[in-house]
Amino acid sequence: MAALSDKLADAYQNARPRYPIDWFTKLAARTGQHKLAWDVGTGNGQAAIGVSMFLHLLPKLAEYFEKVVATDINEAQLKRAVKHERISYHHTPTTMSEDQMVALVGGDNSVDLIVAAQAVHYFDLAPFYNITKRVLRKEGGLIAVWVYNDLVISPEVDAIMKRLVDSTFPFRTPIMNLAFDGYKTLPFPFEGVKGMGCEGKPITLDIPHKLSLKGFIGFLRSWQPAMKAKERGVELVTEDLINRFEEAWGDDDDVKDIFYKAHMIVGKLSASDIERHRKRFESNCVVTKLKDSNNSAVIASVTAAAFAGVAAYCAYSARKNA
């Protein structure tokens, strides 16, 4: 994802929605335990804060996420993240190994809910899914990914937006295509959760948001497809287009109730994933035991040698003194 200037990063942050609290309530209700959540590709922490808001709303319930680990490869985004006592933010450069990532997040078989909000399409999927399958709690752990790719503002504004979206075709990257098709083609090697989508069949949800004209224009300027086109020398968000949006918006001071169209898939580990993990874990235990027994053998022979040395010295001293 291209790095944004401070000004564009502000615009980006203002236009991005907070995710509806009932999403987290639903996810938490289907998660076996509520000790640890991982918000991966957290950005400014939009999803991480959603998880912790859930904690505030339901503080008396026995079931909640006690801790949220939020990670991102972009340090600048993390600096702008919303702070919360239960969220720990970590910079995770792509140079980190699988074992380092697993340890940082909480270890094998430790995470109850993994959330990748508007993010998984940027990831190198194979290594990410390997880590996911290790850290996800084998009993009751869930992974939820979602993307929002469309705005519903008003018939007048939406018509211009549709033409703008169509104009991005020549500049779309494979990553953008995953987002534009609402994760229908996203590889998602997990077992679906009833009513919450599965690979190839995401569910569609609305995210209500309030947006001003200024916020909308900021959103357009920080919009990745338009930025990609700009990198290739084509300005899609021209002054003329902005004028047309302004006209279609109506009153400049109007803050509109809008919707983002989102697409979500929730998954859990399959029985074969759990079996693979169990075997891997067992073979690790055997190696550790072997190491331990080798260590014991070494300690025993060193101790024996030390005793033999002391005994020989005592015998030598006794002979000398006799």
Ligand X SMILES: C[S@@+](CC[C@H](N)C(=O)[O-])C[C@H]1O[C@@H](n2cnc3c(N)ncnc32)[C@H](O)[C@@H]1O
Name the site residues for ligand X (rule: CB under 6 A): 1, 16, 40-43, 46-47, 71-74, 77, 92, 94, 117-119, 122-123
CB of 130 to ligand X, least distance (A): 13
From residue 291, alpha-carbon distances to 3, 40, 98, 160, 296 in Å are: 46, 35, 23, 67, 9
Q: How far is the CB of 144 from ligand X (least distance, A)?
A: 12
Q: How far apart are CA 29 and CA 23, in angstroms?
A: 10
Which of 249/258 has CB closer to ligand X? 258
CB burial readout 207-246, b (16+ within 10 A) else e: bebebbbebbbbbbbbbbbbbbbeeeeeebbeeebeebbe
Nearest approach in angstroms of CB 20 to ligand X is 13
- For the stretch 17-38, what's the b/e string if a residue is b when 16 or more beta carbons lie within 10 angstroms of its beta carbon? bebbeebbebbbebbeebbbbb
Q: Which residue lies nearest ligand X, judged by its C-beta?
A: 43
CA distance 84 to 67: 10
- Please choose, from the candidates 170, 171, 321, 143, the residue with its C-alpha nearest in 3D space to the C-alpha of residue 231: 171
The helix/strand/coil state of 77 is: helix
Q: Phi/psi at 91 (nearest 5 deg)? A: -85, 125
Supply the minimum distance, in Å, between the C-beta of residue 41 and ligand X: 3
Q: How far is residue 276 CA from its own chain's centroid? A: 23
Q: How far is the CB of 8 from ligand X (least distance, A)?
A: 13
Torsion of Cα atoms, 97 then 190 then 40 then 27, to 10°: -150
Question: What is the C-alpha radius of gyration for the chain, rounded to an integer number of angstroms?
Answer: 27
CB of 225 to ligand X, least distance (A): 12
* Residue number, 35 or 91, with CB nearest to ligand X: 91
Q: Which is nearer to ligand X, 249 or 262 (CB)?
A: 262
Provide, rounded to whole angstroms, the least separation between the CB of residue 127 and ligand X.
9
Nearer to ligand X, 16 or 67 (CB): 16
Extract long-range pairs of 234-240: CB within 8 Å, 24+ residues apart: 234/171, 236/164, 236/167, 236/168, 236/171, 237/164
Beta bridge partners of 142: 113
- Min dist. Cβ of residue 49 to ligand X (A): 10
Cβ distance to ligand X smaller for residue 138 or 172: 172
Task: Give whichever of 65 and 123 is closer to ligand X, judged by the CB atom.
Answer: 123
CA distance 237 to 206: 25
In the complex, the smallest distance separating the C-beta of residue 72 from ligand X, rounded to whole angstroms, is: 5
CA 227 vs CA 165, 177, 212, 258: distances in Å: 13, 15, 21, 23
